[in-house]
Amino acid sequence: QEKVQQSPESLIVPEGAMSSLNCTFSNSASQSIWWYQQHPGKGPEALISIFSNGNKKEGRLTVYLNRASLHVSLHIRDSQPSDSAVYLCAVRRTGGYKVVFGSGTRLLVSP
């Protein structure tokens, strides 16, 4: 059974700062990794995905994947109060269909 752990549990950053979230997974065969954002009362929404070692940038978001260390991180540049939400790391094994989620990091961006 895949295990996904996220840190920190909660994070408070001032507006305009960089937010950095971490995720470790238990199996190197986890080839597909997503970060989801969830606002209160809403379902999770996919933000960015990465499928190969290295980094990927989309707008203010950058994700880094290191398969050797089973670690992926999400960095949000110029954080805004609207970025305040729970961020979920999700992994799926090669050829599989089941997506396993971490317990989330609660981000609060203070104005």
Partner 1 sequence: NAGVIQTPRHKVTGKGQEATLWCEPISGHSAVFWYRQTIVQGLEFLTYFRNQAPIDDSGMPKERFSAQMPNQSHSTLKIQSTQPQDSAVYLCASSQESQNTLYFGAGTRLSVL
Residue (11 or 48) nearer to partner 1, CB: 48
Contacts with partner 1, 46-85, as mask; x by CB under 8 A? x--x------------------------------------
One DSSP character per residue, 34-98 reads: EEEEE-TTS--EEEEEE-SSEEEEETTEEEEEETTTTEEEEEESS--GGG-EEEEEEEEETT---
> Is there binding between residue 26 and partner 1 (CB under 8 A)?
no
* Nearer Cβ to partner 1 (45/58): 45
Considering CB under 8 A, how many residues would be counted as binding partner 1? 22
- Report the C-alpha gap between 83 and 8 in whole angstroms: 16
In degrees rounded to 5, what are phi and psi of residue 82?
-70, -15
**86 to 105, contacts with partner 1 by CB under 8 A?**
88, 90, 92, 95-104
Q: How far apart are CA 105 and CA 57, in angstroms?
A: 20
Question: Binding residues for partner 1, per CB under 8 A?
Answer: 32, 34, 41-46, 49, 88, 90, 92, 95-104
